Structure 1
């Protein structure tokens, strides 16, 4: 079952269960997916059948990150009720994301990607990141992985960093 169908199935069940908060979050997910579809059509990608599972995972990852930042801001502002609501939305969104890789798994994935791309210097960082994104979308935070890749490539060719 593709991600879009899975979200819709869970949405239908939440509607039957009359879980308003869950329904609201699932509708936000569907809206984000539809926005991506419209953007793809607007970009002249006529052959597109809509966004694929990789795109949906990227959308979900972005939504999770946005809610984490919002929850942090609400906590700093003393609005714990709103921060808690953001956390509940994160829980619903994360149901559709694959298991996040731990630090050791991320390190191994970086090493594998460097080997697979033949990266030897910092100039090859884009290739390595592209390889990681193609294999591990939704499984790692690429904002944190980027500096790790850079460090690893700088260790391999210290004169170029």
Structure 2
């Protein structure tokens, strides 16, 4: 994460939170997901939103698909996203080498060119207490992840060229 010297802000524009910068929150979320299957349901959304908010940490060739996945999630919900993700995993297990199946994502906008930001919601603003992101329940955690996903798509759509 590139921190602007002396500002306490990461490259996405967010101020550092009690755990540190967005990257610290991201890795803490990924670690907690490993012990909480209910929390793990938002894994794809977390990864896509984080990488789209921090594109310097991402592989550029995947950002378009990640942007479309967030749009699918916001349009059709978590269960639809999980079905598409399971479909992709099944394709990989069966040795399909033709790449990612973009058919479920064809109706969504491609990633705009340019740079996103600022984001009205990000990872360093996530509440964390008693060593967890879900102390107030999984539904509340899901709503926070959805807000971050909405802010991510919104920012990319209004990006600067």
What is the TM-score normalised by the length of structure 1? 0.29
Structure with higher helix content: 1
| Bigger relative contact order (CA 8 A; separation at least 6) | 2
Greater gyration radius: 1
